[in-house]
Amino acid sequence: MTDDYYGTMANDDVEADQVYTATGQDWDEIVTSQAERGDELLVVNMGPQHPSTHGVLRLILEMDGETVQKARAGIGYLHTGIEKNMEFRTFTQGATFCTRMDYLTPFSQETAYAMAVEELLGITDEIPEKANVIRVMLLEFNRIASHLIAIGTGANELGATTVMTQAFRNREMILDVFEAITGLRMNHGFIRPGGVPNDVTDEELDVVDETIRFLHWRLPEIAELCNENPIFKGRHVGVGYLDEATCLALGITGPMLRSTGNTWDLRKDMPYLGYETYDFDVITRDEGDAYAKFRVRQDELYQSLRIVEQCRDRLRKMQGARHIVDDPKIAWPAQMAVGGDGIGNSNEHIKHIMGESMEGLIHHFKIVTEGFHVPAGQAYAAVESPKGELGAHVVSDGGTRPWRAHFRDPSFNNLQAVSALAEGAMMSDVIVAVASVDPVMGGVDR
């Protein structure tokens, strides 16, 4: 064993009679010594590492043999200070920070933040329809990509590497779409207050078409590998059970809540970005275990694909329409283009402000360096991220930077369930239970 494993340990509020430190090659001695004491209770540090999660998480498990008696989650090992950093950047620049929180669902953070700022500006109803359609398409592609990571890495922790490679291959196609539209595969900073910085062209929609066809072809392979696989079901059915009442008491949302039969989904219950105009179903199951959570995420892949297809059809009919609010004091920066290094000002715009319009150059300089003023007040906007309700609470003091920006990240709330999911289970089941939560520590330790 490694030094991640300890005997009854002097940690936090646990009083230890005996402390063992396993540094390698000495586990037999510790087992023998512990057996002589006649006390079977061990406190095991699972981490800080990546135990079936994304980012650095520490689990403190009190074990009686192979059975977990108590479980606690220790967070804070991936603290980024993103929220504090946003107080020192303009409102538009904030999108480049919050996109990095849950790095598997960047568009969810960007959208919630942009919607909150737009509410403070009083321009929610002025956002062009095309901008919202583009946002919805990216959000649903992102939901598919995030769920594929949850399914793939969860299976890989159990040794099903083929499931992970197939999931990652499918996700790669979606990242190609993101790169074609935003210039970047992740950490996009693309959804900004006022709309989106550049249009989606017919060529980019052709990439969307190709990806939709590919996913319809390849996504069913995961179901064929897992759904009725006796080993997969044996590791998931009845493991990591959580009922509806516990989910509601802990503020748990997303696929975890819907796996208990609850239909809560912000896209249906509190529509935003015009979601009420799209045709899709809310997926639920009522078993509440890890297998139910897996099946909810799997079935949501196809519902998101339905929404993406509707977005594509709408965008085909909206070529030439505005994609950002018609206010040059908010639509920052002015004209964008996707280049080899991501999004930047188009050559035409640079030529105009540098050689033809002194006023345009002055305006561009001021809005980029100073930003736009947002009326004093506070606003909260929430979206249905792949992991649950993700909200942005933005406070303005009337300046060009947020006085405070705070996010309700679903992984933070959902991680509270670790104790309920793990207690009474075998140690090997803890991996499955945590994977069923699908936490991203970048969102927890923001």
- Taking alpha carbons only, the member of 428, 438, 407 closest to residue 54 is 438
Residue 392, pLDDT > 90, answer yes
> Span 151-160, mean pLDDT?
87
The two three-digit tokens of residue 159, written as one number: 């040794």
Reported as a single tens digit per residue, the pLDDT across 76-120 is 888 889 999 999 999 988 999 999 998 999 999 999 999 999 999
The two three-digit tokens of residue 201, written as one number: 């062209």
Confidence of residue 445 (pLDDT cuts 50, 70, 90): confident
Which residue carries 């670790």 as its tokens? 418
- 333 or 398, higher pLDDT: 398
- Looking at the DSSP bridge assignments, the partners of residue 44 are 5, 61
- Taking alpha carbons only, the member of 431, 137, 417 closest to residue 249 is 417
Confidence of residue 424 (pLDDT cuts 50, 70, 90): confident
Reported as a single tens digit per residue, the pLDDT across 225-277 is 999 999 989 989 988 899 999 999 999 999 999 999 999 999 999 999 999 99
> How many Å apart are CA 110 and CA 83, to the nearest integer?
13
Q: What's the whole-number average pLDDT of the chain?
A: 86
Are the C-beta atoms of 164 and 155 separated by less than 8 Å?
yes
Give the CATH number of domain 83-332+371-415; options: 3.40.50.300, 1.10.490.10, 1.10.3720.10, 1.10.645.10: 1.10.645.10
> How many Å apart are CA 406 and CA 395, to the nearest integer?
9
The residues near 443 (Cβ < 8 Å, ≥ 6 apart) are: 101, 102, 105, 109, 387, 407, 409, 410, 411, 412
Reported as a single tens digit per residue, the pLDDT across 180-235 is 998 888 888 899 998 898 889 899 999 999 999 999 999 999 999 999 999 989 98
